[in-house]
Amino acid sequence: MTPATATHWLDRHREQLLAFAARLIATPSPNPPGDERAVVHEIVTEMHNLGLSDTEIAAKVPERPNLIYRLRGGKTGPVLMLCGHSDTKPVGQRGEWRTDPFEPVIHDGKLYGLGATDMKGAVAAMVYATAALRQSAGELAGDLLLVIDADEERSMKFGAEYLAGEYGLRADVALLGEPSGIAGPEFEFLHLVSRGVACFKVRVHGTQTHSSLTDRLSAVNANQLLAEVITRMQRELQLTFRPHPLCSAPTINLAVQVEGGVGYGVCPGVAEFQSDIRTLPGMTRAQVEDDLEKCLNGIRRYHPRLRVELQFEELPLGWIAPTEVSADHPLVPALLRSAEEVLGRRPTLSAFPGGSDAAKFQGLAGIPTIPSFGPGWLNLAHGPNECVGVAAILQAAHIYVRAAATFLA
């Protein structure tokens, strides 16, 4: 099916789409603290103006609204969900920004502002793709479900987790518009795997005592021992996994934060470091925990006096499950072909490096979820001077329209 009507509609609404993306950036939704009401109000208003009037708000608490809209096709068929999150990370170091993070600026073909790439550009594109498809919805065999969810950047509790669990959201397949460029061109990859996250602490105990006595009494300096545990783990930790065709190995970052000691005069009694592992499909929390304990046991054998313990973080950070969608799923060729038609090149199949809402939509609700195909660059997300290509926002809308029309043909 050639979605000519929808494509022409998008071309005529080009400027409006870009202005909408800019307005979303100008409406702050940092998480923490987490309050998406203003930005969702902006989206609902725009959708109503575009004729998408039956919007629904699903919220666990009023300040964390999730927006849901169903575009009913003229014939029966599967439900395709397009999903973006409306929250952003906080600004962080404002001094590093060359422009005001909440005053969108276009420079050199890029739209700058907080959330531009992660992922207000994609949200705007998805809203306009839905409005464009409405022009010929009668031709669709199946429904398009547009979901703009809250709380992706922190706990997912009020967003994907609530929708996939308590609310009972159902769809046959979902596409998240997370940025899919990584340092190369936008739409560089079509990510089918969403890597999981395992965050944990390792705590080492020593002897807290007067530092002037360590030559007379036997005392253990927890900080020094911690340094040794870090270097030994770096060398000796062996995780159990099967290499995935799209992603060869998990990422291990030991000691992303280190804490310990009191200061001059005190032999440190306790020290700890935090670490994160990005897991592959097939890895389980029990196995990761076992591998870590095995490694620590090895270190304990060298140091009979070592008192060290492992503690996984609370959920969700303690364990976000990895997910994957098969390359044979009919949405994958539909996206690849649509991308080729719009961009003139095919993206490479790959694994999304970070965690995503896929953990909840797929992990809890069983909806196969493609974690990322959207405008922008993942490496610019969560940092200063975040930006998204202006052309890529428009291309995203065109790709979503074509892929949805093909999948729901």
CB nearer to Zn ion: give 3 or 121.
Answer: 121
**What is the C-alpha to C-alpha distance for residues 44 and 41, in angstroms, rounded to an integer?**
5
User: In b/e form, how buried is each residue of 78-98, taking b as 16+ CB within 10 angstroms?
Assistant: ebbbbbbbbbbbbbeeeeebe
Q: How many CB atoms lie within 10 A of CB 326?
A: 8
Q: What is the largest CA-CA distance in the chain?
A: 86
Query: How large is the angle between the packed helices 390-407 and 331-343, nearest 10 degrees?
Result: 140
Number of Cβ within a 10 Å radius of residue 234: 11
Nearer to Zn ion, 14 or 89 (CB): 89
CB of 373 vs Zn ion, minimal distance in Å: 13
Burial of residue 6 (number of CB atoms within 10 Å: 0-12, 13-18, 19+): buried
In whole angstroms, what separates CA 128 from the centre of its chain? 22
Q: How far is the CB of 227 from Zn ion (least distance, A)?
A: 35
Rounded Cα distance, 10 and 219, in Å: 71
Q: Interior CA angle at 46 toward 40 and 51, to 5°?
A: 125
Q: C-beta of 142: minimal distance to Zn ion in Å?
A: 26
| Nearer Cβ to Zn ion (268/316) | 316
User: Binders of Zn ion: how many residues, by CB under 5 A?
Assistant: 3
Q: Which two tokens stand for residue 40?
A: 């969702």
Range 141-180, binding Zn ion (CB under 5 A): 178
Could you tell me the smallest distance in angstroms from the CB atom of residue 152 to Zn ion? 6
Residue 386 binds Zn ion, judged by CB under 5 A = no
- Contact region for Zn ion (CB under 5 A) — 103-111, 118-126, 158-166, 224-232? 118-126
Q: How far apart are the first and last CA of the chain?
A: 6
* CB-based contacts of 122, cutoff 8 Å, min separation 6: 84, 177, 178, 179, 374, 375, 376, 393, 396
Shortest CB 85 distance to Zn ion, Å: 6
Q: To 10 degrees, the CA torsion angle through 79, 81, 82, 87? A: 160
Nearer to Zn ion, 89 or 307 (CB): 89
By beta-carbon proximity to Zn ion, the closer residue of 50 and 119 is 119
Q: Least distance in Å: CB of 315 to Zn ion? A: 19
Distance of closest approach, residue 87 Cβ to Zn ion, in angstroms: 8
Nearest approach, Cβ of 20 to Zn ion (angstroms)?
Answer: 18
Q: How far is the CB of 149 from Zn ion (least distance, A)?
A: 11
Measured from the CB of residue 121, what is the shortest distance to Zn ion in angstroms?
A: 11
Residue nearest to Zn ion (CB): 118
Which is nearer to Zn ion, 372 or 406 (by Cβ)? Answer: 372
Chosen residue from 35, 87, 118, 324 binding Zn ion by CB under 5 A: 118
Residue 167, CA distances (Å) to 24, 48, 174, 269, 332 in order: 26, 24, 16, 47, 27
**Piece of the chain touching Zn ion by CB under 5 A; list 114-122, 192-200, 338-346, 364-372:** 114-122
Specify the residue, 156 or 254, whose C-beta has the smaller distance to Zn ion: 156
Tokens standing for residue 51: 């004729």
Our CB check for Zn ion shows the closer of 119 and 359 to be: 119
Pairing, β 65-71 against β 56-59? antiparallel
Stretch that binds Zn ion, among 88-96, 115-123, 126-134, 320-328 (CB under 5 A): 115-123
- Give the strand pairing for 270-279 and 196-205: antiparallel
Q: Residue from 21, 111, 119, 229 that binds Zn ion (CB under 5 A)?
A: 119
* Interface segment toward Zn ion; rule CB under 5 A; list 23-31, 111-119, 330-338, 397-405: 111-119
Rank residues 7 and 372 by Cβ distance to Zn ion and give the closer one. Answer: 372
Closer to Zn ion by Cβ: residue 183 or 286: 183
Contacting positions for Zn ion (CB under 5 A): 118-119, 178
